[in-house]
Amino acid sequence: MACEDGLLTTMTSGIYHVDTIKDVADSLGIVNLPDNVATMLSSDVEYRLNQVIEEAARFTRHSKRTTLTTSDIDQAFKVLNIEVRFLLFKVLRCLRSS
């Protein structure tokens, strides 16, 4: 995200594109999501996903393993205080609507 003359512009270097965020928002019943909001959300999703993966990898290393497991991801969610039930509900809701 970059700010030029007070306007928010979209960066194309991220993993999650604005169109993907808008599609998910539409499937959740949020229509006409502004581009600047979708840009900020895509940036936040990328940051949070990276944070979870780094924390899970830390659990893998401390356990002296080379394979990341689902329990590592679960522990990362607990350490980062992310409620897994909420995430699962959102994912299932998206899958049902598509």
pLDDT tens track, the chain, 98 positions? 444 444 444 445 577 788 888 888 888 788 888 888 888 888 888 888 899 999 999 999 999 999 999 889 989 999 998 877 666 556 656 655 55
- The structure's pTM equals 0.66
The fold for domain 2-97 equals Histone, subunit A (1.10.20)
Asked if 79 and 63 touch (Cβ cutoff 8 Å), the reply is: no
Map tokens 């979708």 to a residue.
38
**Structure tokens that stand for 55 in this block:** 């924390």
Q: Where are the domains of the chain?
A: 2-97
**Strand ranges for 1-98 from DSSP E:** 2-4, 7-9
